[in-house]
Amino acid sequence: MGLHRQVRGIVAASVVFFRLATLGMVALSIVGGVQIHAYTVVPLAVSVYAALAVWSAVLITLVLKRDALPGWVLAVDVAVTATGMVVLPLAVTNQLFDTLANPYLEPVSVSVAVALALVSASPRATAAGCAVLAVASVVGQMPVLNRSADIASQLNTIGWQVGAAICCLVFIRRLRRVVQHLTVATQQVIAARERLAAQRAYTEERTRHFREQIRRYRALHDGPLRILTAIAGPGPAAHPDPVVRRQCAVNVDVLRGAAPDDPAGNLTDLSLALLEAGGASAALGLRVEYHFANLPESLPNNVVDALCRASAEALSNVAAHAGTTRARLTAMAHGEAVTVAVVDQGEGFDPDTTEMGYGIRHSIVGPVVEVGGQATVDSHVGEGTRIDLRWPA
């Protein structure tokens, strides 16, 4: 808006100063005409000059007070000036008036053409206005156009009028185009800065969140994890009840996955969701070993949800059908792809003779494929089962 306002200011200043300058030139021609007694019908000449002065005052006021001039103002400007150019020659003695450089309203006609070009920035409107002014000039001076010099002078005046209008038209259209490009570029820069600021704020918030999570899980690692490990182990602090020892061992695995000792391990949306999926399997008596490495800090929510659901279903199948109480859940990134694997050393099955159950087809493979990923099942009798989830495929 600031650039557009400055352009309007330039246009308004140009129109006002140009009109005042040309009115000054007309005033000089009036003084010269009075001195040589050129006016034969004084009331008619006074009426023309008065109408021109009053309208010019109205035009200047509108230009200074309004952001944009309506089309009718420009039309009236052309009409008033053209009428004056036709009528004024009837109130002067042409033979005597020929001695003046600007005997009629030639300077004002040029300023009208300039104002029309600058304000409208329309080639069609500018051409129409210049044509009307040119015709009015020829009609007004038709009685004295009897010499080649007079015709050449008339063509010269029209040429100045048209040339000034074309120059102003090219200038204002180029200026508006530059302003438009600058406005678009400014908006793009502002939008980019806003996105960058939002991204930085989001990154800082996530960093703060994960650091807080790390502090919490490290505290669990150094406190409850050691106690649970002692209770679940074979040492003197072990609990006598095997059910309690097994549950403590499951909780140890969950805490170790949440606070990884591996320097490449990291806490992300995906790793936290997979920990939740593994924790749900603890109620089924399954001990899960976790390994997370090089995971991206963020993934689309639907992708995290699909990988989590598929992993939870895979761990549930291990607890229900594999004949083992242990499983390994890993997640890592390879380039732009993320791979989650659920591995067990249970009974396994032969994929060639065993049809994939509903849970594998619709709760493991289905969700991952829906988000653009891939799920594969590899199993051998007596050697366990491996389920790989990959996104993107």
In a domain, 236, yes or no: no
17 shares a domain with 146: yes
In angstroms, the CA 70 to CA 212 distance is: 63
In a domain, 198, yes or no: no
For residue range 240-256, list pLDDT tens digits in order: 777 777 777 767 766 66
Full domain range(s) for residue 370: 260-391
In a domain, 194, yes or no: no
Residue 169, C-beta contacts closer than 8 angstroms, at least 6 positions apart: 117, 118, 121, 123, 126
Secondary structure (DSSP) of 84-103: HHHHGGGGB-HHHHTTSSS-
Q: What is the mean pLDDT of residues 147-176?
A: 81
In a domain, 147, yes or no: yes
162 shares a domain with 51: yes
Quote the pLDDT of residue 148.
Answer: 55
> Side chain identity at 326, as an amino acid letter?
R
Quote the pLDDT of residue 152.
Answer: 72
Give the number of other CB atoms < 10 A from CB of residue 342. 28
- Is there a contact between 100 and 152 (Cβ–Cβ < 8 Å)? no
Quote the pLDDT of residue 386.
Answer: 93
Residue at which a domain ends, from 188, 208, 225: 188
Lowest-confidence pick of 109-113, 148-152, 243-247:
148-152
For residue range 261-320, list pLDDT tens digits in order: 444 455 678 888 888 788 777 667 788 888 888 888 788 999 999 999 999 999 988 888
Half-sphere exposure of residue 98, counting CA atoms within 13 Å on the CB side? 14
Q: Report the percent of the chain where pLDDT is more than 70.
A: 85
Residue at which a domain ends, from 141, 160, 188: 188
Lowest-confidence pick of 182-191, 193-202, 356-365:
356-365
178 shares a domain with 38: yes
Q: Report the percent of the chain where pLDDT is more than 90.
A: 26
In a domain, 276, yes or no: yes
Q: Which neighbouring-strand residues pair with 296?
A: none
267 shares a domain with 129: no
In a domain, 381, yes or no: yes
Residue at which a domain ends, from 164, 188, 212: 188
Q: b/e for 12-46, b at 16 or more Cβ within 10 A?
A: bebbbebbeebbebbeebbebbeeeebbeeeeebe
In angstroms, the CA 146 to CA 160 distance is: 21
Angle between helices 148-222 and 123-140 (to 10 degrees): 160
pLDDT bracket for residue 207 (50, 70, 90): confident
279 shares a domain with 177: no
Quote the pLDDT of residue 150.
Answer: 62
Q: Structurally, how many domains does the chain consist of?
A: 2
Quote the pLDDT of residue 261.
Answer: 46
Residue 356 has pLDDT above 80, yes or no: no
- Is there a contact between 360 and 377 (Cβ–Cβ < 8 Å)? yes
In angstroms, the CA 266 to CA 293 distance is: 6
CA angle 348, 351, 352 (to 5 degrees): 135
In a domain, 387, yes or no: yes
Q: For all residues of the chain together, what is the average pLDDT?
A: 82
275 shares a domain with 170: no
- CATH number of residue 318's parent domain: 3.30.565.10
Listed residue (268, 373, 357) closest to 316, CA to CA: 357
Quote the pLDDT of residue 234.
Answer: 72
In a domain, 282, yes or no: yes
175 shares a domain with 77: yes
